[in-house]
Amino acid sequence: MSIEVRGLQKAFGPVVVCDHLDLDIASGELVALLGPSGSGKTTLLRIIAGLEVPDAGQVLFNGEDTTHTDVRQRHVGFVFQHYALFAHMTIFENVAFGLRVRPKATRPSDADIRRKVQELLQLVQLDSVGHRYPHQLSGGQRQRIALARALAVEPRVLLLDEPFGALDAKVRKELRRWLRRLHDEVHLTSVFVTHDQEEAMEVADRVVVMNQGRIEQVGTPEALYDTPATPFVLRFLSDVA
Ligand code: ADP
């Protein structure tokens, strides 16, 4: 699923958070929105998700205008920094949740749900924890389960907002590599927000550098390092976190 953002505008009161943004994301691409806190990354992600309505401009999925399409009709999967799993449900039930709440006509059978959940647990390499509860897993494992849960409903687009933000440096590093591998396996169009340039550079096919509601540069990690387009990009990338 390709994503196009056209002339997107969003202000909260006097503060312009998305300032006429244009962006093309190809089908199957993994793109990072990178920038300092308050640069508008999360707002752009939420508009793509359908959780926020822009003041002007459009979001197109595969060329189709979805700007005003309800979030439930967009088939997007989410992973948020604090997207807590349901504490009272087993890991298996957490992953199965999105399938169980489907309308009866499209709900898979129990056997199909079991098969699907097992497949997803294998994909995130946690196939032996289905019977456990969230508090029995580490933070990194919980985020992998959050990913499995997001993928269960077969989204057309995966959106991640600082997915590893709450974890320590070592686990973050591990999960980064792991997200990249997963993406290479499933090739799902994915957009993830981070303020950590190392994370963006290591994981993404292309990086969108944002500053004060504007896009400073879009490019591969190599292109950004080799030919930073603006003084801001140069400064931001040489700022070792
Ligand atoms: P980032 O993800 O880059 O940190 P955000 O998109 O979260 O940036 O926020 C950009 C700016 O918009 C910030 O100044 C933030 O305070 C403001 N903002 C975000 N959401 C709201 C809201 N619902 N109401 C008012 N201001 C908001």
More confident position, 33 or 70: 33
Residue 44 Cα, ligand 1 centroid: separation in angstroms? 10
Q: According to the model, what pLDDT value does residue 241 have?
A: 47
Indicate whether residue 86 lines ligand 1 (CB < 6 A): no
**37 and 196 in contact (C-beta within 8 Å)?**
no
Tokens 């499209």 belong to 106
Choosing from 8, 9, 10, 15 the residue with most ligand 1 atoms within 8 A of its CB, the one to mutate for a pocket test is: 15
The pTM assigned to this predicted structure is 0.92
Indicate whether residue 217 lines ligand 1 (CB < 6 A): no
Indicate whether residue 42 lines ligand 1 (CB < 6 A): yes
Q: Give the integer Cα–Cα distance in Å for 28 and 46.
A: 19
| Average pLDDT of the residues in 32-52 | 95
Give, as one character, the DSSP assignment of residue 108. P
Kindly report, residue by residue over 69-99, the tens digit of the pLDDT. Answer: 888 788 899 888 776 799 999 999 999 998 9
Tokens 């980064």 belong to 176
Task: With a cut of 80, say whether residue 240 has pLDDT above it.
Answer: no
Q: According to the model, what pLDDT value does residue 193 have?
A: 96
Average pLDDT over all residues of the chain = 92
Indicate whether residue 38 lines ligand 1 (CB < 6 A): yes
| Average pLDDT of the residues in 46-58 | 95
Predicted ipTM of the assembly: 0.96
Kindly report, residue by residue over 161-218, the tens digit of the pLDDT. Answer: 998 887 888 888 888 888 888 888 888 999 999 999 999 999 999 999 999 999 999 9
Q: According to the model, what pLDDT value does residue 58 have?
A: 97
Q: According to the model, what pLDDT value does residue 182 have?
A: 85
Q: According to the model, what pLDDT value does residue 6 have?
A: 98
More confident position, 73 or 137: 137
- What is the percent of the chain where pLDDT is above 90? 71
Please provide the DSSP assignment of 14-83 as one string. TEEEEEEEEEEE-TT-EEEEE-STTSSHHHHHHHHHTSS--SEEEEEETTEE-TTS-GGGS-EEEEETT-
